[in-house]
């Protein structure tokens, strides 16, 4: 007698009936898998969203910004850049923009003249060229930037962090270098020049007139053609200080952002490992559910065997149950991971980016684990003899 063949729809109905008989246990097992899948998808999604945001910011800010700073002399002392350094750098053919900033020694900024001098809060005072914001890729969020007129008088523009620490806005006076300066603007954060966030920026002429600034730049920011960044970097040290090029430091700020992203990717790998462990725990939960199911349903298995069900059909039934259980957890976990990524990206102002391979791969991995987890219980159910199963209490 040839046994009846089960169609795909029959297999799904039989497998689904087994899951409906134990809803709480099925829910807990699917929850374990969903947590593992959600962890993996959200980690990949958050990392990908962060990477897309970084690429977007770098595209907006540009990766052609190079900075020139003084290094150390051979005797270990602090070197200085020549006063003419910005002008000499501007003569390099591929260089399109040059702006300088110079730290004013022995000057800091306070909310008022009654604050102790030692409470500097890490703020600095710097002389700034008029084209500094455009060159470093930032802008004024409140008030206005310095101009030809205000750069000669006691006017100051605060970096983003400095304004927050001082708690001031344009139109308020601050005590700077032993005299009052009027705040005329506040800068937005400068990712490629974070040292400006904690600075009070005054005009070059005003720094010389009121703060005894010596005129030596401490940082020269340059923008060049994208195709010539490397060649310009090779020329900057000798151009900025021909007498001592070894005392000049040249850096590319965008490289720091890329390095930070690489560090975040290392942590992403660690979190993915934790998600994989959670997924494995969910697979163990599936295996446990299916083994218990075989033990509880021995009478059903024996009855089906007596009615003509083959060992292969029983194996197929229990594998189908395991796959359905894993699919429930996998799909729910993938959706939860996408929701977590979307919510986190929204709080950080990032674009949401979840690679399709992450969601599809996570669901596929769940089905593989589910098939492996259900294989042993399915084989155990198929090995039960009808008489032995029917005789079970």
Rounded average pLDDT per 10-residue block, the chain, 393 residues? 56 65 76 81 81 70 84 85 95 94 92 89 94 93 95 96 94 94 95 92 96 94 86 92 92 66 59 64 66 65 65 73 82 90 89 83 80 73 61 52
217 shares a domain with 74: yes
- 3-class secondary-structure state, position 100: strand
- 3-class secondary-structure state, position 150: helix
- Tokens 């006063």 correspond to 83
216 shares a domain with 151: yes
Q: Is residue 359 part of a domain?
A: yes
36 shares a domain with 105: no
What backbone phi and psi angles, to 5 degrees, belong to 142?
A: -135, 140
The Cβ of residue 314 has, within 10 Å, a number of other Cβ atoms equal to 22
Boundary-marking domain end, from 218, 253, 288:
253
304 shares a domain with 238: no
Instruction: Give the per-residue pLDDT at 1.
Output: 44
**CA 361 to the chain's CA centroid:** 22
Q: Is residue 222 part of a domain?
A: yes
Asked if 236 and 88 count as a contact pair (C-beta separation under 8 A), the reply is no
Q: How far apart are CA 17 and CA 213, in angstroms?
A: 84
265 shares a domain with 229: no
The Cβ of residue 15 has, within 10 Å, a number of other Cβ atoms equal to 21
Q: Considering the entire predicted model, what is its pTM?
A: 0.60
Q: Is residue 42 part of a domain?
A: yes
Instruction: Give the per-residue pLDDT at 50.
Output: 78
Closest CA to 332 of 287, 362, 288, 373: 362
107 shares a domain with 68: yes
Residue spans of beta strands (DSSP E) within 188-257: 199-203, 219-224, 248-251
Q: Cβ contacts of residue 242 below 8 Å, gap of 6+?
A: 88
And the tokens for 380? 């155990």
Instruction: Give the per-residue pLDDT at 82.
Output: 94
Q: Is residue 265 part of a domain?
A: yes
Q: Is residue 3 part of a domain?
A: no
Q: How far apart are CA 297 and CA 270, in angstroms?
A: 41
70 shares a domain with 14: no
275 shares a domain with 188: no
222 shares a domain with 73: yes
Q: Is residue 2 part of a domain?
A: no
Boundary-marking domain end, from 253, 272, 290:
253
Instruction: Give the per-residue pLDDT at 2.
Output: 47
Q: Is the dihedral of CA 143, 58, 166, 127 positive or negative?
A: negative
Inter-CA distances, 329 with 19, 134, 202, 270, 285, Å: 13, 51, 60, 23, 11
Inter-CA distances, 31 with 95, 166, 329, 334, Å: 58, 49, 6, 12
> Which residue range(s) make up the domain with 292?
9-58+258-390
Boundary-marking domain end, from 201, 225, 253:
253
- 3-class secondary-structure state, position 173: strand
Q: How far apart are CA 146 and CA 291, in angstroms?
A: 75
83 shares a domain with 180: yes
- Tokens 């997924």 correspond to 279
Q: Give pairs for 346-350: CB < 8 Å, separation 24+.
A: 348/49, 348/50, 348/53, 349/53, 350/49, 350/50, 350/52, 350/53
273 shares a domain with 145: no
Instruction: Give the per-residue pLDDT at 23.
Output: 79
Asked if 321 and 371 count as a contact pair (C-beta separation under 8 A), the reply is no
Instruction: Give the per-residue pLDDT at 321.
Output: 77
End-to-end CA distance of the chain: 31
143 shares a domain with 54: no
Q: Is residue 4 part of a domain?
A: no
Q: How far apart are CA 158 and CA 166, in angstroms?
A: 9
Q: Angle formed by the axes of helices 253-296 and 298-306, to 10°?
A: 70
Q: Is residue 53 part of a domain?
A: yes
**Cα atoms found within 13 Å of the Cα of residue 71, Cβ hemisphere only:** 14
How many domains would you assign to the chain? 2
């Amino acid at each position: 007698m040839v046994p009846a063949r089960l169609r795909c729809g029959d297999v799904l109905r039989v497998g689904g009936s087994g899951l409906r008989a134990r809803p709480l246990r099925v829910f807990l097992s699917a929850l374990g898998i969903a947590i593992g899948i959600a962890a993996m998808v959200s980690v990949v999604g958050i990392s990908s969203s962060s990477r897309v945001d970084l690429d977007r910011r770098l595209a907006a800010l540009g990766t052609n910004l190079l900075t020139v700073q003084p290094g150390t002399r051979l005797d270990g002392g602090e070197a200085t850049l020549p006063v003419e350094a910005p002008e000499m750098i501007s003569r390099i053919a591929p260089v399109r923009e040059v702006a300088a900033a110079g730290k004013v020694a022995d000057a800091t900024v306070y909310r008022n003249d009654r604050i102790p001098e030692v409470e500097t809060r890490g703020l600095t005072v710097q002389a700034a060229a008029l084209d500094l914001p455009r060159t470093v890729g930032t802008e004024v969020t409140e008030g206005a930037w310095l101009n030809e007129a205000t750069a000669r008088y006691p006017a100051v523009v605060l970096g983003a962090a400095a304004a927050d620490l001082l708690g001031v806005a344009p139109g308020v006076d601050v005590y700077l270098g032993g005299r009052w300066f009027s705040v005329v603007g506040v800068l937005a954060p400068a990712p490629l020049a974070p040292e400006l966030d904690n600075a009070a920026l005054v005009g070059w002429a005003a720094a010389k007139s009121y703060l005894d600034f010596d005129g030596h730049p401490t940082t020269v920011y340059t923008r060049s053609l994208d195709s010539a960044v490397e060649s310009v970097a090779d020329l900057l040290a000798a151009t900025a200080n021909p007498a001592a090029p070894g005392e000049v430091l040249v850096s590319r700020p965008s490289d720091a952002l890329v390095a930070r992203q690489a560090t975040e990717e290392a942590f992403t790998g660690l979190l993915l490992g934790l998600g994989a462990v959670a997924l494995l725990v969910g697979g163990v939960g599936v295996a446990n559910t299916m083994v218990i199911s075989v033990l509880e349903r021995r009478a059903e298995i024996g009855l089906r065997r007596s009615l003509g069900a083959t060992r292969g059909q029983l194996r197929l039934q229990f594998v189908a149950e395991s796959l359905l259980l894993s699919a429930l957890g996998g799909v729910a976990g993938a959706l939860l991971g996408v929701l977590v990524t979307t919510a986190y990206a929204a709080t950080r102002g990032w674009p949401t980016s979840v690679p399709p391979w992450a969601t599809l791969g996570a669901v596929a991995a769940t089905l593989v684990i589910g098939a492996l987890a259900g294989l042993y219980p399915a084989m155990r159910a198929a090995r039960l003899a009808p008489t032995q199963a029917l005789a079970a209490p």
